[in-house]
Structure 1
């Protein structure tokens, strides 16, 4: 175990023998860290925090601190981090609260840039990029492959669907459906994330079908209930993209705050 002699690792922490821990880092008693994870200097990891394999946490990050929620009373809530994540300088990720499921969760293969804040009870999927200074309030959900531009701020309880994207300084106060690009303060729809979809192997036919779905929701002038019915009809016309159009429709159906529109 490559632990710098100035690091303070509680004897009760469960740290794999292959983990690297830098100078002056502090690891609390309820922390578990999986194989191959590298932790830089001056990092604090506390609370009931579980970190998977092959993560890289850079200097000055704060992982598993108490929620910034006045209702928090020291309950043994959790932070669970998956595998293969990069967490850059000055990132803060807080524990969950009992008012929600008690767990803040970060999936795998995410790229979390400097000064990002992930608040209590956030649920993040896989392959997400959060650019510098992106800020998530409590209870935010991000689907897989979401990209948030620098200085994006997301209101509490908002959901952002898979493959969605926000522009620099977007202020998100309602839900952003899958595949949609949001921009501005307050964030408004600005097309689909077509470049991201191309990079992930979506076919031109699938992207064209998703664009048609976007136009139904945002350009047709239909009330939302009628737009959802039209999306369902479009699913039948576009079998190659039916699953993605259904994903869009079901997200809109389940949206707790209402979608940007």
Structure 2
């Protein structure tokens, strides 16, 4: 079965038929190596041909060609925003819906950018619409989707923390993890949130409900959140970790605390 594939360890080892299926959008990537190997220009061309939207190709590729720095992430974002503008211009909501439910994880990543980059939506609308991507079964879509709304979260921090604190109660561990990961003070591949670096206590309404979370995926994110905070406010993190260990001395909390204090303990 395709979804059980482990995926090659290096790009040169990816079988040709798998690469062709990835570039046609017929299967998901199995790991980061495959994710990096997909030719997004070719994938876009195939997608547009399959959906009779080939006239969208040239303007989007022109934007990609103008990028100073071409990485998987910058190309991903540029294609997503480009498709958003073209679909908006042509009242083509049907096409955007097809992107969001596509088999290809990279195409669903483009769809996530059509939410994050849509200036017609307010913060709550963006977060409501991004939640389906936050709960996606694919790691790549989950990572990209929080990045697409991170600038909005940063700009509207109080409202974001209030909305996302509700997400910590969801049964779906991926949604809970989004609440923590999207608000990390330093984050990965993204701009820092200065307010949280200076005053990480603002994030406690998200962290507290997750301090003994059953999911290792969530535990890692909470530990990393506090580790981020420890680089600018070490005393705060030490205090919180001590308090958590006193109040909920579970193996889950101990794991989070160990991860949170790793920079301080170095």
TM-score, with length taken from structure 1:
0.32
Greater relative contact order (Cα < 8 A, sep 6+) = 2
Structure with greater strand percent: 1
Structure with greater helix percent: 2
